Amino acid sequence: MRNCGEDDFSRRDFSQGQGRSVQYRLLDQVQIVSWIKSRSPKGANTWVNALERNLEQLSESPDSNPRAVEADDLEIDLRQRLFKTRRGNTYRLLFIMRDTTVYVLAIRGTGQDLAGPGELELP
């Protein structure tokens, strides 16, 4: 597990409800959107909208999401939230919770391996 600074994360505050602050790795979003956009610009917009909906839902009830498969191997309380695109591709938001903040450490796409030691950066 590597440590990174707060500047490595994009911060989203969902203030309409009692939601927590959500911070996520912007690099993962940029890479996924670039890949999708090269095939379908409309699909990229749809994916971003799905991500934003799921980040908002995550801020409202992060505790309701299960532990990620790799949590025990990585020895952290890593949780996951799954979301699907219209085309049926599943993505995983891998996150930890600290105080009132949810940190999404990775966004994993269909076909990506489980996160291994040294891949996730802790804030």
Tokens at 117, concatenated: 């030691």
Secondary structure in 3-state letters for 6-54:
HHHEEEEECCCCCCCEEEEEHHHHHHHHHHHHCCCHHHHHHHHHHHHHH
Q: What is the pTM of this model?
A: 0.83
- pLDDT, one tens digit for every residue, the chain (123 residues): 433 344 444 555 554 556 678 877 777 888 888 888 999 889 888 988 899 889 989 988 899 999 999 999 999 999 999 998 888 889 999 999 988 889 999 999 888 899 888 888 877
Q: Which CATH superfamily is domain 2-6+18-115 in?
A: RelE-like (3.30.2310.20)
For the chain, domain boundaries: 2-6+18-115
Tokens at 6, concatenated: 């707060």
Amino acid in position 88? G
